[in-house]
Amino acid sequence: MPEKYEFQITETDAKKRLDEFLFGRFFHVSKMYLREAMRFGKCEVNGTLENLSYKLRKNDFVELELDFDERQIIQPENIPLDIIYEDLELIVVDKPSGMLVHPSRRIRTGTLLNALTFHVNDENLKTKNPYELNFEFSRAGLVHRLDKQTSGLMIIAKNARSHKIIAEHFKRKLVEKRYYALVEGKIEKEMGEINAPIGRFAEEKLWNIKDDGKIAITNFWVKKRFADSTLLELEPVTGRTNQLRIHLAHIGHPIFGDEKYGGKAFSRLCLHAYKINFWHPNGNRQMEFEIDLPEEMKLEH
């Protein structure tokens, strides 16, 4: 059953884009669904249909119609999680390779967000409707992403306040992330920088090196050399889509298992987010977590 929402824009939200404002009001709904609602005439500003980039003004009147059926709500699922740390504000979790971070149009279950929603609401699920319970958690939740086939550390916010603070820290580059990658061939340099712009090729629906793309920089250090491969430590200075995979393929050393970008077939994508350093949202301490290289990426047993 469709529900109608109405908002009077205050000075606080003035100058925000229409889509940014709505994303902030409906954390528990996928951005894809909200964009579709706006594109298909379900949102009006002052009685007129506006595009996603419309800049709001004080006293604008926004009307939005949404249909909250179960397809738009995160289904809680009792999936085991490898939780490295947890407190009242956040969770640090080790995401396994092969798990989607959040539901997609075609895949609605089995994702990290399904598992986290169950975990956060576990006690309440015994007495209440799960479709109501997960709203509060899903308002916060994901602050950043990892590819489905990439494993490793992720920070999960447990409330809207923590989400806002940690997201701002990411924007200000106060969060340091490091990865391990097992790549093809022997890299002779001990360290280096890959600086190559990345953009999207619309026809192929593929992100790759593009002359008019956005600036993208990756630092690397050689950790170990093998007969026909190299274990690298990587620092993504920028955060473009598939940046590490694209950059390593660009220099002729694709990641094992990354067949999309020319890598050899492997049991998994050999990319692992092994370290993360960030400020706790309460502002009282800096936190750093580090995990081991997964067994399937170790060439020496």
Instruction: Return the SS3 of 49.
Output: strand
CATH of the structural domain 177-297, one choice from 3.40.190.10, 3.30.420.40, 3.40.50.300, 3.30.2350.10: 3.30.2350.10
Counting beta carbons within 10 angstroms of the beta carbon of residue 117, is it exposed (0 to 12), middle (13 to 18) or buried (19 or more)? buried
Domain segments of the chain as ranges: 2-67, 83-171, 177-297
- What pTM was computed for the model? 0.74
Residues pairing with 65 in the sheet: 4
The pLDDT of residue 270 is 98
Q: Which two tokens stand for residue 77?
A: 């699922």
3-state secondary structure of 299: coil
Q: How far, in Å, CA of 149 to CA of 167, rounded?
A: 23
Phi, psi of 71 (to 5 degrees): -70, -25
Query: How high is the pLDDT of residue 10?
Result: 92
Give the pLDDT means over successive 10-residue stretches in the chain (301 positions). Answer: 83 91 80 76 82 89 76 77 94 96 81 88 53 45 88 90 86 94 96 95 88 94 96 95 96 97 96 98 93 89 43
Report the DSSP beta bridge partners of residue 157: 90, 141
Q: What is the DSSP letter of 290?
A: E
| Marked catalytic residue, from 13, 94, 147, 258 | 147
The CATH number assigned to the domain with range 2-67 reads 3.10.290.10
Q: Which residue(s) pair with 191 in the sheet?
A: 221
Q: What is the 8-class DSSP label of residue 45?
A: E
| Predicted local distance difference test score (pLDDT) of residue 108 | 78
Distance CA 131, CA 76 (A): 8
Topology alike, domains 2-67 and 83-171:
no
Would you state the pLDDT for residue 138?
A: 52
pLDDT of the residue at 192:
97
Helix (H, G, I), strand (E, B) or coil at 122: coil
Q: List the one residue out of 270, 274, 200, 188 whose CA is nearest residue 241.
A: 200
CATH of domain 83-171: 3.30.2350.10
**H-type alpha helices, 40-194:** 112-120, 130-138, 160-171
Measured CA to CA, the distance from residue 260 to residue 257 in angstroms comes to 9
Query: Who's near 172: CB < 8 A, 6+ residues apart?
Result: none
**Residue from 24, 5, 21, 30 nearest 54 by CA:** 21
With b for 16 or more beta-carbon neighbours within 10 A and e for fewer, the 229-266 pattern comes to bbbbbbbbeeebbbbbbbbbbbeebbbbbbebbebeeb
Structure tokens at 221: 């250090």
pLDDT for res 130: 46
Q: Is 258 a catalytic residue?
A: no
* CA pair distance 267, 102, nearest whole angstrom: 22
Q: Map residue 260 onto helix, strand or coil.
A: helix
Q: What is the pLDDT of residue 43?
A: 87
